[in-house]
Amino acid sequence: MKKGILFALSLLLAASWCATGVFADNIKLTYMYWGSPAEDAATKQALKDFEAANPGITVEPLFNPGTKAEFDAKLKAMSESDTLPDVGYFRPESVYEYAANGFFLDLTPFITKDGLKKDYLAQTFLTQNGKIIGAYTAAEAQVMYYNKKLLQDAGVPLPPTDYKKAWTWDEAVGYWTKLTVDKNGKHPNEAGFDPKKVVQFGVNHEVWSGMLYPAIWGNGGDVFSADGKQVLLDKPETIQAIQRLADLRLKNKVMSAPGSTEYQAQGSTDPKVLMQNGQLAFYISGAWELLDFSKMNFPLGVGALPIQKKPAQLYISGVNVVYKASKHPNEAWKLQKWMMTPDKTQALYSGGLWMPTKASWYTDKTDAAKWLANPAHPEGFKAAVVDSMAVAKSEPIFIKNYDQIWSEFINPELDKVWLGKQTAEVGLKAAAEKIRKAGILQGIW
Amino acid sequence: MKIRKEAVWGWVLITPLTAGLTLWVAFPVGVAVVMSLFQWNMISTPKFIGLDNYLFMLFGDHLFWQSVYVMLLYTLTSVPLQLVLAFSLALLLNTRVKGMGIFRTIYYLPSLIPIMVSTALWMFLYNTQFGLFNLILESVGLPGLEWLKDPDLVIPSLVFMSLWSVGNIVVIFLAGLQSIPKELLEACAIDGGNAWHRLNHVIRPMMSPIIFYNLVMGIIGGLQTFTQPYVMTNGGPSNASLTYVLHLYKQAFQFSKMGYANALALMLLVVTMLISWVVFRSSKSWVHYEGDRS
């Protein structure tokens, strides 16, 4: 028995000697990220490919799912114990605050040296005081999905795909009304319609903070001024856009569950499943939903977002950073560059999860075909979404206290608006007043 | 000499506990007191700001009073209901009926389920579209309710849920009931007392220390409610279920205001002590200990 233990110990010792010997010259990087199982698998593959292309560098994947609070707690613990990763995803809501505290490597010299800036969409790089602190991991946008069969059955024309010639809001509401049916076959605009017994809804519009921007911007409103010093929530244009979204359920009765922002996913059936079941015609959400849709079996269509006053689009995504604590900044940058090159992580793009940040993948036909020419991307996607990135604006995560302002001041008022307990005017004016009084809007990072 | 030896052993045996308490309780509390005077986001150098965190709490934070209100509302409704229900169940479970063991197991069972699991389970029950409660309501022709999505209903829903897991309290009550001397109950019966007399004049006074214990524990637990709203509603809708500790948690870990969160934590400590003190004071008039003169 004792001999066995001794033998095992000596074996272990020998193995560790070998290990240090073999990998002595190796540079070891860590890459921290999160995401769905598909994203996890594709990321791991991309890291393996990176290792194969760069002998002498090994990358340890650190899969770290969880809420923003959990991510922050973990990161702070890593920071205290000097075990921060080299490269990785970062929560967009707090990236600027961490950058201001010197957590990230200034990428400007690397990007200048490699001449990368012009190759990427203008919104891609995040800057603070003239320094590039990180890059959006992907480009994501808002998309209007629909179940083609339901539209054809109801005799509703398929929506236009050119983002500049989309339906007006009223037109869209008209069609959504036609597509909302109760169990007696009546529509919301007919006498005897029973809103409690609806078998098919016209639309579901996500209403968490990011998803509100296109409607607000498209109506000429905004949430904050560009310098992050003024609240514009109570502008009539903003109020009107929000009231229109609330009315989808309250007045037009074409939308099902109230999309309560804080916990929408938890209380209701996934709209994608409703669409598959033929219980929901339209769904307005993020471009990443394509990944899940591609695994479902119904004729999916993509149309241009309805226009309030002018076409609008949102650029939203997680962020990638290189940590200043990295002992191998050059190699870390190499890895970051690899992850930013869509050829290297193509499955994430062609599968529908991400839209690329590389400009040529939008403009160049060959590059565009690499991610768009596949069953996961319906026909109209190019015209309705990809082209609309020309008018896309970034979610203003560079505003100080951004997350707290939404969570503590705006969303609680909006909850009551979606439920019909107060109008958008009352709610947004109250939120704006509270934000001003609290003095929490303190400019940009 | 012998005494000396015992003393040494005494010290040796309490050292682990004392060291643990010092290191893991007293020290962090001390740090919390100090940090509550700082502005600190955990990634930059803390900045001393005196009592500003406390002033902001009382006069600046528009959610502080909301969270205090939610905390008190939840505690003041859930604790009495829990006690009454648990006491009634304990009385029933103390009768001599065949298969009593099974009933006792059934009522205790929910307490064994981890709180995360039971909370997830109740989210299904409360689901607006396919939850059991709405199915029941609709089957008798009533409209379904937005249990967790209506600001006016969310706290009652959480209170109702808390009644499901009173098993622990029931067990403590049950143990108390069984320790009531039979002679007292018999004496009451011989003197012509009915069930009500036995309950009110024998059982209630004899049980009062146990009721008191459960009351204090219930209040402390109620004031610290976190998991259920964190998992089910994240404090929504419209902050209607933003309990005090959830508010504290968000300040610390979602918004990185660690200094302010420490101030909130200390305030909770003070408030809990105050409430406990009031309850202890009141106990003199209604809690009876055997051998007590009163």
Give B146's contacts in chain A (Cβ within 8 Å).
258, 419
Give me the mean pLDDT over the B19-47 stretch.
Answer: 92
Task: Give the model's pLDDT for residue A2.
Answer: 56
Among the partner residues B43, B63, B130, nearest to A98 by beta-carbon distance: B43
Contact A97 B254 (CB under 8 A): no
User: Which pLDDT belongs to residue A36?
Assistant: 78
A76 with A190, same domain: the answer is: no
- Tell me, what's the pLDDT at A347? 85
Closest by Cβ to B238, choosing from A76, A103, A415: A415
Residue B255 near chain A (CB below 8 Å):
yes
Asked if A76's CB is within 8 angstroms of B237's CB, the reply is no
pLDDT for the residue A38: 77
Interface mutation vs chain B, best among A84, A262, A274, most B CBs within 10 Å:
A262
B30 has a chain A CB within 8 A of its CB: no
| CATH number of residue A351's parent domain | 3.40.190.10
Q: What is the pLDDT of residue B292?
A: 56
pLDDT class of B131 with cuts at 50, 70, 90? confident
Residues contacting B113, CB < 8 A, separation 6+:
B121, B165
Identify the residue among A97, A266, A399 best suited for mutation to test binding to B, counting B beta carbons within 10 A and taking the highest. A266
- Nearest chain B residue to A94 by CA distance is B255
Percent residues over pLDDT 70 in chain B: 98
User: Is B128 within 8 Å of A257 when comparing Cβ atoms?
Assistant: yes
Q: Identify the residue among A407, A413, A414, A426 best suited for mutation to test binding to B, counting B beta carbons within 10 A and taking the highest.
A: A407
| Domain co-membership, A309 together with A218 | yes
Asked whether the beta carbons of B163 and B85 are under 8 A apart, the reply is yes
Task: Report the residue from B60, B149, B249 with minimal CB separation from A260.
Answer: B149
Residue A18, domain member (yes or no): no
- Burial level of A150, CB count in 10 A (0-12/13-18/19+)? buried
Q: Exposed, middle or buried: residue A444 (CB in 10 Å: 0-12, 13-18, 19+)? A: middle
* Residues A271 and A230 grouped into a single domain: yes
Note whether A378 and A298 are within 8 A (CB): no
Give the one of B41, B43, B237 whose C-beta lies nearest to A260's C-beta: B237
Residue A30 in domain = yes
Mean pLDDT to the nearest integer, B9-13 = 93
Do A327 and A375 lie in one domain? The reply is yes
Residues from chain A that touch B52, judged by Cβ atoms under 8 A, are none
**Count of domains in chain A?**
2
DSSP string, chain B: -HHHHHHHHHHHHHHHHHHHHIIIIIHHHHHHHHHTTEE--SSS--EE-TTHHHHIIIII-TTHHHHHHHHHHHHHHHHHHHHHHHHHHHHHHTS--TTHHHHHHHHHHHHHS-HHHHHHHHHHHT-TTT-HHHHHHHHTTPPP--TTTSTTTHHHHHHHHHGGGTHHHHHHHHHHHHTS-HHHHHHHHHTT--HHHIIIIIIHHHHHHHHHHHHHHHHHHHHT--HHHHHHTTT-STTTT--HHHHHHIIIIIS--HHHHHHHHHHHHHHHHHHHHHHHHHHHHH---TT---
Are A178 and A276 found together in one domain? yes
Query: What are the structure tokens assigned to A139, written together?
Result: 């480009």
What per-residue confidence (pLDDT) applies to A25?
66
Does one domain contain both A58 and A68? yes
| Yes or no, beta carbons of A97 and B63 under 8 Å apart | no
- Residue A328's CB is within 10 A of a number of other CB atoms, namely 14
Comparing C-alpha atoms, which of A412, A419, A409 is closest to residue B236? Answer: A412
Instruction: Return the pLDDT at A71.
Output: 86
Is residue A244 domain-shared with residue A281, that is, in the same domain? Answer: yes
Q: Cα torsion at A124, A126, A129, A132 (round to 10°)?
A: -80
Which range of residues forms the domain containing residue A382? Answer: 26-139+317-389
Based on the domain organization, do A111 and A207 belong to the same domain?
no
Is A14 domain-assigned? no
Residue A72 and residue A59 share a domain: yes
pLDDT digit string (tens) for B183-195? 888 888 888 888 8
Consecutive 10-residue averages of pLDDT for chain A (445 residues) = 58 52 72 86 90 93 85 86 92 90 93 90 91 93 96 95 95 96 92 88 91 96 94 96 94 76 52 90 92 90 95 94 93 93 88 91 91 91 93 92 93 91 95 93 90
Size of interface A-B (CB pairs under 8 A): 88
Domains and CATH numbers, chain B: 62-286 (1.10.3720.10)
Residue A15 covered by a domain: no
Residue A239 and residue A347 in one domain = no
Interface of chain A toward chain B, CB-CB under 8 angstroms: 68-70, 72-73, 76, 79, 94, 97-98, 101, 103, 196, 257-258, 260-263, 266-269, 401, 403-404, 407-408, 411-413, 415-416, 419, 421, 434, 437-438
Distance from CA of B128 to the nearest CA of A (A): 7
For an interface test with A, give the residue of B152, B231, B256 to mutate (most A CBs within 10 A).
B256
Q: In this structure, are A255 and A121 located in the same domain?
A: no
- pLDDT score for A11: 56
Q: Domain end: A354, A371, A389, which one?
A: A389
Q: Please say if the pLDDT value at position B93 is more than 60.
A: yes
Same domain, residue pair A60 and A114: yes
Residues B14 and B11: their CA atoms lie apart, in Å, by: 5
Contacts of B249 in chain A (CB under 8 A): 69
Res B200: pLDDT: 86
Q: For position A264, what pLDDT does the model report?
A: 45
| A21 belongs to a structural domain | no
> In angstroms, what separates the C-alpha of B140 from chain A's closest C-alpha?
15
Q: In terms of pTM, does the model score above 0.90?
A: no
